[in-house]
Amino acid sequence: MNIKQQSRHIIADKPKVTFVVFDDISFTNGYTTRLRRVLELFNGNIEATIIASSDNTPSKFVGFDGVCVKALGRWLLKYKSVPFPFKLIHLIIWNIELAYVLLATKCDVVYSVWDPLGFASVLMISRIKKYRVILEVHDIFSLDHAESGHSGILLKLDRFLERFVVRNADYNIALSQNTLEFYQPYNPRMEFVPVCFDTDVFRATSKDYTSDSRVVGLIGPFEDIRQKHYLEFLYSRIDDFDMRIHFLVIGQCDSKINNGRIKYTGYMASEQEYANQLAQLSAILVPEGVSTSGPLTRVLQPMSCAVPVFATPKALIGLDYVTPGIDLLVFEENQIPGKVNELIFNNALMAEIGSNGRKIVERYYSKEASAGKLLKILQSLLKESAEPSK
């Protein structure tokens, strides 16, 4: 049974589902990509509304045909010169606007794409509107912020917030097994529904191994400390790589250097363009320096394109089902230049690693692997909502 047949079997009518994402969905990142993927999994069998934080008008959004988009301004967040404390004002504004829009929106379920900062409004209005709340948990909030430098009272607030949102959601969806294990003691109503991809878009293509040169990619955008570390690693170690190896920096990047071995794609407007660019690479570097589940897509998308991944051990946090040395190559950061030089010209090994990675994605991270779980969760919540009226 394919996704379309399966979803029609599970959901006879079209429930109204409102998605909340504290991000600009006119751009591509982990949150917006996941939102698009979830909409694909529901396959048109829901009446969807998106509430997003964005300065763009709904007419500028792409990829959401037939979906009502309500864009709430993020003017304070777009200016880098605004001091951080003043940006907190936007969180208050976001919650007020979010509450107002939710009051005016008909919905059976609100699906929060990991927006703990707006969850208070989602929960408060659920008491009035009687909708069910699904919280999609992308990472371990407090650990992520601890790695970013939060400590003391701020870290205690992070821990309070993550427990509050998980406990009060009607159902939680964890994107990785370690996230599920961390949060499940606070709410047993939690399901592991991993990151998934359209393997027809992120597909393998034949590669030219006759050339002496190789092109290795780094995936952005490079906006926060995690991705900036990738650039710092490349810029500081580029002379340690074989001169035949060139680099492609993919995504929005403001910290460019003038080096003949490095090219920059800039922002890529479509997922297909991005996937095509990935598929042509000889390998991908994921020199993750932070122990969070942040780089999952940066590892799995290249694997889906049968592109070998060179990663640090911290990049594997939250990554299930993969075996280092078989599906991807894992080394300490200081070992990566030497290991890339040693292995990337071994065409047979690179082809084998790429092929193994593709098989793992097809088996565990394809849309087909996730659709049934997600649809059953929605069905169970709709059934619960109907029971009191009987």
Q: How would you write the pLDDT of the chain (390 residues) with one tens digit per residue? A: 454 444 444 445 799 999 999 988 877 777 888 898 899 899 888 999 999 988 776 666 666 778 999 988 776 655 556 666 666 788 888 999 999 999 999 999 999 999 999 999 999 999 999 999 999 998 898 988 887 778 889 899 999 999 999 999 999 999 988 899 999 999 999 999 988 888 999 999 888 777 899 999 999 888 777 788 899 999 999 999 999 999 999 998 999 999 999 999 998 878 899 999 999 999 999 998 876 655 688 899 999 999 999 999 989 888 889 999 999 999 999 999 999 999 999 999 999 999 999 999 999 998 887 888 999 999 999 999 887 554
* Domain match, 319 and 374 both: no
Asked whether the beta carbons of 295 and 288 are under 8 A apart, the reply is: yes
* Same domain as 148, residue 53: yes
> Does residue 187 sit in helix, strand or coil?
coil
For residues 42 and 14, membership in a common domain is answered with yes
Residue 114 backbone class (left: φ over 0; alpha: ψ -120 to 50; beta: rest):
left
Q: Domain residues for 82?
A: 3-196+366-389
12: phi then psi, degrees, rounded to nearest 5: -75, -45
Which pTM does this prediction carry? Answer: 0.85
Q: How many CB atoms lie within 10 A of CB 118?
A: 23
The Cα–Cα gap between 326 and 337 comes to 19
Do residues 148 and 248 share a domain?
no
Q: Is the peptide bond before 185 cis (omega within 30 degrees of 0)?
A: no
Is residue 356 within 8 A of residue 326, CB to CB? The reply is yes
> Do residues 286 and 156 both lie within one domain?
no
Residue 328 structure tokens: 């991807």
Number of domains in the chain: 2
| Same domain as 162, residue 232 | no
304 CB contacts (<8 Å, ≥6 apart)?
A: 197, 199, 202, 203, 357, 358, 361, 362, 365
